[in-house]
Amino acid sequence: MTWSERMQSAWKTFKRGALPLYGWSLILIGVIVVLIVAIAIGVIDQLRWTFPNIHNFGGANSYSPGMPVPGMPPTPGMPPFMDPFTASSQDLFSYFGGMDFSNLLSVIGSIAGSLFLIILVVWLIGSAFYAGIFNLTSKAYRENVGFKDFRFTGFARVLGWQALLFMIQLILFLMGLMGAFALRNSGGVLLFFLTVYALFIVAIGLYTLPWLSSSAIYLLIHREVGFRDALIGSWRFFQRHMGALWAFLGTVLLIEIALEILTRLSSGLAGLLILVVSPFIAVLGIVWVLTLEDETSPGSDSAAVNTSFSSEQTINLQKPAPLPPSPEDKPSYCPSCGKSTTGMAYCPQCGTKL
C-alpha cells in the first residue's frame, strides 16, 4: 500500500468516527480541567493554613506588631507578626507567621503529594482515553461507528506498556546519575562521560522512535496473546516495517510544521487547530499500523506460500501419451472357427475349449 492510499484510508476512518471522537475528547478535557482545578484549590487551601499571611505578601494589608495573626497562636517572646523589612534579626519565615524549616518541608511534601496525584490521575485518564480511541478507530477502519463504540478494552495493557517505558527511562536516568556521581571529582572525565551518555540516549531514542510510536498499537491489536509475546512481536513488526513507520513519523512532522506556520499566522486559532488536528494524528497512527498488519496478516502469508508453492510446479498442457496395452488386453480368436473369444474359456460359437 502506498503513502497516499494509507492517508486516504486514515481520512476515511477519521470521517467515520469524527463525531464520537470529538465528543469524547471534549469530555476528557472537561474532566481533566475539573480535576486540576479541584486539586489546585486543595493545594492553595493547604498553603493558607500553613502560611496564614501569604495573601499579604507585598504589604497589601498591614498588621501592628502586637496584632494577632489569624490561624497562628502567639509565640512567647516574639511578636505575632513583624514586617520583613524591619525584622532583619528574625528568621525569614517569621514573615509567614514564624514558620520553621520543618514546617516548610511538610508543606513541600504535601504539595509534592498533590502534584503526584495530578500526574497519576492524568496518567490513568490518558491511558483509558487512548484505549478508547484505539477501539473506536479499529472499528471505524472497517465500518461505521457510534458514540457507544468508545470502549476501554485494553486499558490494563496500555498501563503496563507505559509503566514499562517509565521503568526503562528510570533505569537510564539512574545509570547516568550514578556515573556522574562517581566521576564528580574529575572534571574532564565527567564532561566526557556526560557527552557520551547524552549521545547514547539520543542514539537509542532515534533508533527506537518508530517502535515507540507503534508498539502500543501493536499490543492492543494482539490482545489475544500474552504481554511478553506481544511485546516481542511489536519489535519484530518494527524491524520489518521500519521504513513505513519512519514515513508515518515524517508525515506527523509535516503536519506539526504546518500547524506551527498556521498558528504563527493566526495566533487566535492555535487552540482550535490543536483540538481539531490532534485526534486525526492519533487516528493516523492507528490506521497506519492496521494497514501494515493487513499486509502481513496470517491469511496473506499463507496465500503467498501457496502461490509460491504452486509456481514451483511444472504445468504440462500437452495431451499425455497413451499407455501401451498389457498382454492380457490383446484380443484372442478361436482356432477352429475364428470367432473372437477375448477373456473367454470356451468359444461361444463352436464350443471349443480355448
Phi, psi (rounded to 5 degrees) for 346: -130, 150
Q: Hey, is 146 helix, strand or coil?
A: coil
Is the pLDDT reported for residue 137 higher than 70? yes
pLDDT at 87: 44
pLDDT at 229: 93
pLDDT band of residue 25 (cuts 50, 70, 90) is: confident
pLDDT band of residue 93 (cuts 50, 70, 90) is: very low
Instruction: In whole angstroms, give the CA distance from residue 257 to residue 280.
Output: 15
Q: Between 49 and 290, name the one with better pLDDT.
A: 290
Is the pLDDT reported for residue 223 higher than 80? yes
Whose CA is closest to 111, among 166, 34, 56, 45? 45
Whose CA is closest to 252, among 209, 205, 201? 209
Q: Buried b / exposed e across 192-203, counting CB within 10 Å, b at 16+?
A: ebeeebeeeeee
pLDDT band of residue 157 (cuts 50, 70, 90) is: very high
Write out the three cell numbers for 144: 461505521
Phi, psi (rounded to 5 degrees) for 341: -130, 45
Is the pLDDT reported for residue 268 higher than 90? no
28-55 mean pLDDT: 72
User: Which of 57-66, 216-225, 261-270 ranks highest by mean pLDDT?
Assistant: 216-225
Instruction: In whole angstroms, give the CA distance from residue 35 to residue 56.
Output: 28
Averaged pLDDT of the chain: 76
pLDDT at 304: 37
Phi, psi (rounded to 5 degrees) for 325: -65, 145
Please name the residues in contact with 220: beta carbons below 8 A apart, sequence gap of 6 or more. 131, 134, 138, 154, 157, 158
pLDDT at 121: 81
Q: Buried b / exposed e across 28-40, counting CB within 10 Å, b at 16+?
A: beeebeeeeeeee
Beta bridge partners of 333: 340
Q: Between 259 and 305, name the one with better pLDDT.
A: 259
21, 138 in Cβ contact below 8 A?
A: no
pLDDT at 53: 53
pLDDT at 145: 87
pLDDT at 236: 94
Is the pLDDT reported for residue 138 higher than 70? yes
Instruction: In whole angstroms, give the CA distance from residue 232 to residue 219.
Output: 10
Is the pLDDT reported for residue 150 higher than 60? yes
H-helix or E-strand spanning residue 20: helix 3-50
User: Which range, of 34-38, 150-154, 191-195, 230-234, averages the lowest pLDDT?
Assistant: 34-38
151, 297 in Cβ contact below 8 A?
A: no
